[in-house]
Amino acid sequence: MASDFVWFELVTPDTKAAGAFYTAVVGWTTEASSGPAGPYTIFKAGGFHVGGMLEMKDVPAGWLGYVGVDDVDAFAGKVEAAGGAVHKAPQDIPGVGRFAVVADPQGAMFILFRGPLDAPPPRPAPMSPGSLGWAELHAADWEKAFDFYAPLFGWVKHDAVPMGEMGVYQTFGPSAAAIGGMFSNHAPAPMPYWLYYFGVEGVDSAVERIKTHGGQVLMGPVEVPGGAFVVNAMDPQGGLFAVLGMRG
């Protein structure tokens, strides 16, 4: 069975400021909770829990994706055996599940997660405001990255989109549908990373909200196959994210 992203988490030095930014830009509401590392904020889209936020002063701001697996310990072992790294060994979050923080062989980090339920929690409709629209790997070498992820999670190649001098943009996911894309990022970046796209009602108004609330637009709006537009951006604390929606 192929794995999918089941949760998204923002690690940031200032949860109050970041929460105000993302509720304004993406339209999420927030709910206070607690986790093993202290206070935890849950992001909600409509009635759905879609992600969380954790305050950590000593690490750069950034989003992490949780990939659902049936055995966190076994998958952590597979990551290491395939040349990846385990940054935080498998541990339990009481009442929530078991997780491990890992990285692929090129250094892009993600989280392995097993929740208490066999089925992933319900999520908003694709492309609806606040939903996760897409997961994108900015790899050093996408072909080697795909060779790591495909046997690990059961992902297959979907469309290969030529991007001119930038090479190929390879979409991937379970055989039923693509859930993301990967490409070799030759632009200066500190290291390979995952970028997550969030659905918004209108891309143009989202661009204005990003700027108004102290964020930075890095690229776009750019049209993607299917007629939607994407914008790559940075939040005021330095976390990278993207939004996906229609013009107007």
pLDDT tens, residue order, the chain (248 aa): 668 998 999 999 999 999 999 999 999 999 988 877 788 999 999 889 999 999 998 888 999 999 999 999 999 999 999 999 999 999 998 888 899 999 999 999 999 999 876 666 677 777 778 888 789 999 999 999 999 999 999 999 999 888 888 889 999 999 998 999 999 987 666 689 999 999 998 999 999 999 999 999 999 898 887 788 999 999 999 999 999 999 87
Domain boundaries along the sequence of the chain: 5-114
Superfamily (CATH) of domain 5-114: 2,3-Dihydroxybiphenyl 1,2-Dioxygenase, domain 1 (3.10.180.10)
AA identity, residue 46: G
d(CA 201, CA 207): 11
Count of Cβ atoms closer than 10 Å to residue 53 Cβ: 24
Q: How far is CA 179 from CA 2, 31, 133, 159, 244, in A?
A: 11, 27, 8, 11, 14
